[in-house]
Structure 1
Amino acid sequence: MSRLSGTASPYLRSHADQPVAWFPWGEEAFAVARDRDVPVLVSIGYSTCHWCHVMARESFADPTIAAIINAHFVAIKVDREEHPEVDAAFMAQASAFTSNLGWPLNVFTLPTGSAFFAGTYWPPQAHGGMPAFPDVLRAVARAWQEKRESLEETGTAVRDALVALGQQGGADDVSAADVAAAARALIATEDAEYGGFGTSGPKFPIATALQFLLAEGVDTLAPGSRDVGSFTLRAMRHSELFDPVDGGFFRYATERDWTTPHYERMLVDNA
């Protein structure tokens, strides 16, 4: 019986019949990795994630690809809505390896849990500049066999850097100058024509950034902050990102002008 078939998460249960020997999140998987002396593949997704389901259908349901995973890794499937703390921790680690963060998030770790490589969606065959997922798996497995010391150093360095970052202080250490600099940095990336940040798609409704620009006192420190935030909200409201039937916003638009949205909802965005 699959280890995922009895889990509480519908997302995990949707992977229960796949040929990948998935573990749910927990110490057991890392203990098995230490016993087998293999790295861990932590794959994080959620039920309404389009590309999570694409990769599941293309790769994790493929017996040939599953055989590569089972032979060279211990595989863990995580529902980010069930374990947001796990997702946040691995997202932070993944940022050391790619700026293209999102889901599915696939992180390769040492048996101790420290990441040494990460990415998001990989197709089953190479295309569009993306390597094939089987080739990624084989390359990581080969590196584990031939360059393990280097991988261990990378994993340890990433872990130590995050620990050091967490020890630098909290919100009490943020000065007015820090707030002004952060706001100006956001303003500098504004798409003055269509709103939002950056001038190429896809474009997301980055709620935390907008909240920051509209927060009380920020506009005083960095004039123009409120105008940038308000302009983006108005642009989103009058675009295809907004659902005219049920209200609220879709996850993101694939084009710079907020058109061609991905029709999935994130409670955190809409809240």
Structure 2
Amino acid sequence: MTRIDLHSHSSVSDGTDSPAEVIEYAVAAGLDVLALTDHDTVGGIEEASRHLPSGFTLVPGMELSCAYQGSAVHLVSYLFDPDSPELADELRRVRSDRAHRAEEMVRKLQEHGVDVTWERVLEIAGAGKDEYADANTIGRPHLARAVVEAGAAKDVQDAFDKWIGSGGPVYVARYAIDPVRAVELVRAAGGVCSLAHPGRAEGATNGAVPVELAERMVGVGLGGIEADHPSHNRPQRKFWRGVAADLGVVVTGSSDDHGSLTGHRLGCRTTAPEAFEALIAPATGAPLLKG
């Protein structure tokens, strides 16, 4: 049976492995299809595409950052045209604001006596000092790793809990797209998308994406819900599978692997081949890439 993982990250955003290494790990994990979905960028797709073994399929994608009533909502988006003007403009704005937010948090950390430098965060992110807004996506996980290096947290999760998570002493909000509009942008660019880990929405009242928001997103073209995610327990998986069935969209399953940060878990959750085919059927913006 074809094994499909529709959510993964490389060092182009907040994963620890290069795009080429992500492909190597995917093959070793027995996957046949992998979506590379770095945060708000397709910057790793070209490198990954050069390292596809025969018979392996790469799904070009990204994880799009959205916000709803103060909470984070994420969309794993696939097979869109990255040069679609309106979507490209929004992505540049999101990446730029991510970087400026991280730089401001560095300043606040320094005020709290944490020995973190902006230069080191850029190094961890693999971004150039002068062109960071359009280079690799800079996010809080890069900052968290710098905090750990500085000895102010025991690990990345502790850095979020102690310093940079929502409500933390150095947290800074940033620009993010309204999720309904985000679905519209992806669909207008010929792509399709699935609601990422809906049971885990930072800043939400009950920690989850509101079902009524999922309904509105489906109304403008959302094609799937990532019910099978490592952060979801059994009741959450059952609940979101039920929501997907009620709304008439497919269930996707994904590892959301970030390399060593998540224990190289590619393939720990997968998407059924028939769900994958149904999800991508409307896509016209970009082709699947085959080895």
- TM-score interval (norm. to shorter): under 0.3
Bigger share in helix: 1
TM-score by length of 1: 0.28
Q: Which protein shows a greater Rg?
A: 1
Higher relative contact order (CA 8 A, sep 6+): 2
Give TM-score scaled by structure 2 length: 0.26
